[in-house]
Amino acid sequence: MTTDPREHTKQTLAQLGIKTPDAIAQEFAELRRQFDQENINFIDIGVSAHDQSAALRLYWLGRKAGILSQITNNWLKTAPPELKPAVGQELNKLKAHIELVLEESLNHFKEQVDLQLGVPEDLSLPGIERAFGTRHLIRQTFEELQRIFTAIGFSVVEGPEIETPYYNFEALNIPEHHPARDNMDTFYIEGARSSYLLRTHTSPMQIRTMEKEKPPVRIVVPGKVYRRDNPDATHGYMFHQIEGLAVDTDITFCDFKGAVEYFAREFLGPKTKTRLRPSYFPFTEPSAEVDATCHVCGGKGCRVCKFSGWIELFGAGMVNPAVYGFVKYDPERLSGFAFGMGVDRLAMMKYGVTEVPLLFQNDVRFLRQFP
Strand partners, 311: 292
Q: At closest approach, how far in Å is the CB of 305 from Zn ion? A: 3
- Kindly state the number of chain residues that form the binding site for Zn ion, as judged by CB under 5 A: 6
Please list every residue from 215 through 274 that binds Zn ion, using CB under 5 A. none
CA dist., res. 312 & res. 342, Å (int): 11
Q: Of 199 and 295, which has the nearer Cβ to Zn ion?
A: 295
The backbone torsions φ and ψ at residue 88, rounded to the nearest 5 degrees and listed phi first, read -60, -45
Nearer to Zn ion, 113 or 297 (CB): 297
What mask, x for binding Zn ion by CB under 5 A, covers residues 268 to 307?
Answer: --------------------------x-xx----x-xx--
Cβ atoms of 257 and 265 within 8 Å: the answer is no
Amino acid at 360: F
Site string for Zn ion, 137-176 (x = CB under 5 A): ----------------------------------------
What letter would DSSP give residue 320? P
Task: Tell me the closest approach of the beta carbon of residue 234 to Zn ion, in angstroms.
Answer: 18
* Backbone torsions φ then ψ of 156, nearest 5 degrees: -100, 125
Q: Which is nearer to Zn ion, 25 or 296 (CB)?
A: 296
Residue 297 C-beta: closest distance to Zn ion, Å: 3
* 350 sits near Zn ion (criterion: CB under 5 A): no
Minimum separation from the CB atom of position 369 to Zn ion (A): 21
- Report the residue number, 45 or 302, with the smaller CB distance to Zn ion: 302
CB of 330 to Zn ion, least distance (A): 44
CA distance 45 to 28: 27
**CB-nearer residue toward Zn ion: 276 or 304:** 304
CB nearer Zn ion, residue 80 or residue 269: 269
CB-count burial class (<10 Å; 0-12, 13-18, 19+) for 271: exposed
Cα angle, residue 188 at apex, residues 182 and 191 outer, rounded to 5°: 100
Kindly calculate the radius of gyration of the chain based on its CA atoms and give it in whole angstroms.
45
**Residue 49 or 313 with smaller CB distance to Zn ion:** 313
Break the chain down into helix, strand, coil percent, rounded to 5: 45, 15, 40
With 0-12 / 13-18 / 19 or more C-beta atoms within 10 angstroms meaning exposed / middle / buried, residue 286 is: middle
Q: By CB neighbour count within 10 A (0-12 exposed, 13-18 middle, 19+ buried), where does 145 fall?
A: buried
CB 354 → Zn ion: shortest distance, Å?
A: 14
If phi > 0 it is left, if psi is from -120 to 50 it is alpha, else beta; for residue 299 that is left
Distance CA 251, CA 335 (A): 6
Q: Least Å distance between CB 299 and Zn ion? A: 7
CB atoms within 10 A of CB 65: 11
Smallest gap, in angstroms, from Cβ of residue 309 to Zn ion? Answer: 6
* Beta carbon nearer to Zn ion, 46 or 269: 269
Q: Quick one: 227 or 350, whose CB is closer to Zn ion?
A: 350
CB of 300 to Zn ion, least distance (A): 7
Decide if 113 contacts 50 (C-beta within 8 A). Answer: yes
Measured at CB, which residue is nearest to Zn ion? 294
Binding residues for Zn ion (CB under 5 A) = 294, 296-297, 302, 304-305
